[in-house]
Amino acid sequence: NDESGISEDPDVRFAVAKKIVERAQDFGIKPEDIVVDPLVMPIGAMATAGLQVFSLVRRLREELKVNTTCGASNVSFGLPHRHGINAAFLPMAIAS
């Protein structure tokens, strides 16, 4: 996120990550030494949150060459059967 907060738009999130990577490179930090959290949002609040994070993780890896981490269980926040949702989400996130 940046000074405007957390955007729901994955392109805005990517732009923020790109800005961070560029700034880090000014200090000699290589992209492969950077870990970015794409900020998993709950699908109960935003139905496309899962798909958006998969796309964003791919772009972060392929275009910026950074590593990622995430709070995977955020995807199921407030929903019943969280364990099953998380169990389905995690391998899809890893594949991204």
pTM of the entire predicted model: 0.89
Strand partners, 36: 68
Residue type, 75: V
Residue 56: the pLDDT is: 96
**pLDDT at 1 exceeding the cut of 90:** no
C-alpha 6, offset from chain centre: 11
Contact 46/8 with Cβ under 8 angstroms?
Answer: yes
**Going along 1-96, which residue ranges are E strands?**
35-36, 67-68
3-state secondary structure of 51: helix
Q: What does the mean pLDDT of the chain come to?
A: 95
Query: What span, in angstroms and rounded, lies between the C-alpha atoms of 38 and 34?
Result: 13
* pLDDT, tens digit, 9 for 90 and up, residues 3-45: 898 888 999 999 999 999 999 999 999 999 999 999 999 999 9
Q: Tell me what percent of the residues of the chain surpass a pLDDT of 70.
A: 100
